[in-house]
Structures are given as structure tokens and as C-alpha cells.
Structure 1
């Protein structure tokens, strides 16, 4: 019985959008200014107020030339409400912003060298969306953490997720232009702890003779390896797409062939994301970016 009374009370509450339109009109006097403040058209403003008047069965607004004035009933209604509209808007604003925001998790190397240089184009095309890029080495829980989607490296077979291939992973050696180098077997290589297998793999598939170099510098991850190469510390083995901006700027040069791996970088989302329309827009855009060819400075066949 109490549930029925609660439902009845809710159905008798006036439209919040109508009340906000009435409040804006009271503050700005003119329909055009009130509509602009709410981010809607003048027609939409008029419809919202008309619907509110129909709900309440009272005339709330009258016009005198181009100026809209509240009737006694409209003035009394807003006076009784006090600052309720402002408090409701303040309470709803964080939720609206969170629904506009996309929280994307990925590793630092991909974020810095592939994703972030491209994101301004997406935001110019979707100014109403906000992208928050979170970098971590671990695999985030898309259902249990405050993350909407991720770019992960692997085969794309993560349980409970939807994965779309952006591009296949590749390996290519590169070094700063001024670095003195001899034969490949004598290269001062830079190795990341988590990717020790990369150099023997590239060495074999690139047709190099003997064993892959094993000396040189050891760093924690690929982001540090790339930074070390940019500083002239040695030869880095990294994904070809990480080098686009560095090659174009002359900071690095390619030293050998690009080989493709079975793994790839995937856009990953839960099967029921919080803001599916925005996440889908980002997914399609990233797929298109992943299909684009590498930029200037690549040897023949590097984009295959």
C-alpha cells in the first residue's frame, strides 16, 4: 500500500525540465537568452514550459512584447521551490560528466607514442566527450574497476570481454641517428625485462646469423627502453607504430626489417559498458586509426 502511495506521489511531481525552463526564463526574461543558458532551442524551451503548464493546469508565463514575465502562479511556484533547481543541478552534474567521460586504460608506451598524438583529432570530432587515459602495466578489471575500456596486447581472447583488433604487433630495431654502430651482432642493445624474448625472436625472423646480442642495457619496461634509445644509449627493439613521430622528427632511424607477430593490440570493453554510445564511437575511431599506414621514413614493406 505504501508503494502505491509513493508511485502516486511520483506521478504527480511536475517535470524537472519544465521547472528548469521556467527558472531560466525568470532569470533571463527573454526566451532566446533562457534557451541559450540551457543549451536548447527557443522552441524546446516553449514546449517545456507549455508542458509544465499543462501538467499543473495553471498559466505560468505571459508575454509583453519580447519580454516574458511570470504570472503570479509562476512567481509563487519558483518562490516555494527556493534554490531546489540549483541544488538538483549541482547533484546531477558529476553524474552527467561521468557519463560523458570515457576512462581508457592502456600501457604507457602505447599511450605516449601512439594514442596521445592521435586523441586531439577524436576530441575535435567529439567535443562533447572527455577521454581520461589511465596507464598501468597490469590488466584492469573492466567490470569491477572504474574503467570503461582498455587497449590490451595479446590474442584478443580475454573472457567476459569484447575485443576488436586495432593492429598486429610488430618488432623493429631503431637507434638515434648519431649512434655509432658496427655489425648487428655487436649492437649495444637495450632490453626490457618483460620482453627478453623479443631480441632472439626478431634476430631469427630477420635472418640474422649467429646469436642475438645479449649485452647492453637492461631496463624495466618498453617505455624506458624507447627513452634510452632516444638518449643515444643503444638500439631499441619496439613496435613499429611507436616510431612514427620519432622518425618524422629525425630523432630515430630504422636499422632493420619490420617483422609481424601473432599478437596484436585490441580495443577491449566489457559486454555491458556504462556509456555504450560513447565507447562505441571511440572503438570505431580507434579501429580506423589502427588501419592507417605508418608515417614517413619507413623502409619498403614496413606497413605490410
Structure 2
């Protein structure tokens, strides 16, 4: 027995309810010709007409009236089932800084969403420290020393700073000059790096100060100067050749990116899946084996 296409049934339901090809087309945002084509396809599939066609519109015949009632029940059931599935999607809320979100998390997140279509991840970016308990945030990524009492803590990424530039600029130390430096809000980073690299003549008081490290990286990508940025956030740009690292040692930092959450959060299976994915992605970034449970404090 042939099965009519679902699209034809929806076109039929709209035309039968409105008794007008034109009004059905307006409702469905298609042309009247498209509606007529779907109606003919359905009638051909069923082997009998469903309408009596007149100059002023349509009239359902007996078969059409019976079929409309059955289609409306079936379509309503499909709509209810769809709404139930959508409502059943698990939403995970994560807070992080704009630079971590834009440079590291978002480029990788689409892979997770494709692998887990029933999980939605809502990312809130900002530099404000959120309260996981009172604001109902499931996870947060913090940049600090890892001391977060009462919370579960897993180190994600170390925080070496490396000098980078776009391919349009020479990736050489002798090309560095004060006016070409791109600073983030921590203006002292270039001073610390130049001292560690032995470039004591570099005037680190010059250059453009950006609102945050993400803005500094964007300026570097546009060829506006040299940025000092966290290597862990630049992996994709460096691998793609959109940025080049200057031949100089990185500036180590005691700071790192940490994933934190309330201890009971990962009792939810979907939350546990998302946490493990984050740890695996971070381990791949730094070529390490992912921790089984993270650093618990």
C-alpha cells in the first residue's frame, strides 16, 4: 500500500480547512501552484479525488471529509510528540570569560551538539563571577589558581603566554617594536615576557590597549600588531596558519583555566557526559591523557 508523503498531508490539511488553495498557500508561505501540485500528488497516491473544484474555491467530497478528520488527528499527535521531545531536551548552562568562549569553547562545541542532539548548551560570557548555587549555573570556567572552596574543581588548560602575529607581519623578534604591541587589560604581560626573553630594549609602555585578550587576538588576526596570548586559546588559529608564533620561549604562569561545578551536578548523566567531553577536549589541546575525575577540592 502506497504511503502518502507527510508534506502532502500538511498541504491537504491546510487546503481542506481553508477550502482555498490561495489561503492555504499564504498560510504555508508557498505559491498556490505548490499547493495544487501537492494536492494532485496526494490524490494520485490515494487513487481518488478528495475535493470538488469550483471557480470560487474548493469543496470536500465525502472521502475528503473523512480523510481530513483522520489527518488532523494524526498531525495533532505528531505535533504533540514533537513538542514533548523538544521539551525533554536537556539544557546545560555554562559561564566563562569572553576570550575562553570565543577562542576555545565555541569552535569545538558544535561537535558535541551534533553527537548529543538532545542536549543544549547555553554559554554565558562575561568577566563577572557568578554564584553557581543562586544563579542555577551548572558549570563555570574560571581563570585563576584553582582554589574554589566547596566546589568540584578540574584543571582544563595551563596558561603559557606566547607572542603571535598574522602572516602579513614578520614573525621575528627583531620586528617587535613598542608601537606594534597589542595589550589586553593586563598591560604588564608584555613587560614580564620581554624581561624573561631578554628583550630589555623593547618599550612595553607603547602600543594599543584592548578591552580584553579576545580583542587583542582579533586585532592580531587583522594584522594590526603583535599580541601576547595564551597558547591554549590559539591552537586552532596557529594550526590553520591564521596566526604565527614568534621564535621565543613562552611566559609561564601560575594561573590556569579550571572547570568548576557543585558536587551534585554530575549526578545527572547528561552533565557527566558534558564534563567528560570538556576534559577530553582540554587534554587533546595539551596532548595529555584526560583525568578520570579531575582535581577535587
Q: If the length of structure 1 is used for normalisation, what is the TM-score?
A: 0.60
Structure 2 counterpart of 1:206: 197
DSSP-derived class of the 1:262 partner: coil
Deviating above 4 A after TM superposition, structure 1's stretches of 4 or more consecutive aligned residues are 88-95
> What's the CA shift for 1:95?
6.6
DSSP-derived class of the 1:140 partner: coil
Structure 2 counterpart of 1:222: 213
Mapping 1:135-284, distance limit 5 Å:
135-179=125-169, 183=174, 186-187=177-178, 188-193=180-185, 195-210=186-201, 213-255=204-246, 256-273=248-265, 276-284=268-276
Distance 1:89 1:154, change over 3 A: same
CA RMSD of aligned residues (A): 2.9
Gap runs ≥5 in structure 1: 1-84, 296-304
Aligned counterparts of 1:146 and 1:277: Cα–Cα separation in 2: 17
Is the Cα–Cα contact under 8 Å of residues 148 and 274 in structure 1 kept in the other structure?
Answer: no
> What's the CA shift for 1:294?
5.6
1:138-171 Cα offsets, whole Å, 9 max, x none, are 1111011132111111111123321100121110
Distance 1:178 1:206, change over 3 A: same
In the alignment, structure 1 residue 285 sits paired with structure 2 residue 277: yes
Count of paired positions: 207
Distance 1:92 1:272, change over 3 A: farther
Q: If the length of structure 2 is used for normalisation, what is the TM-score?
A: 0.62
Aligned counterparts of 1:272 and 1:239: Cα–Cα separation in 2: 31
Structure 1 counterpart of 2:100: 110
DSSP-derived class of the 2:161 partner: strand
Distance 1:120 1:90, change over 3 A: closer
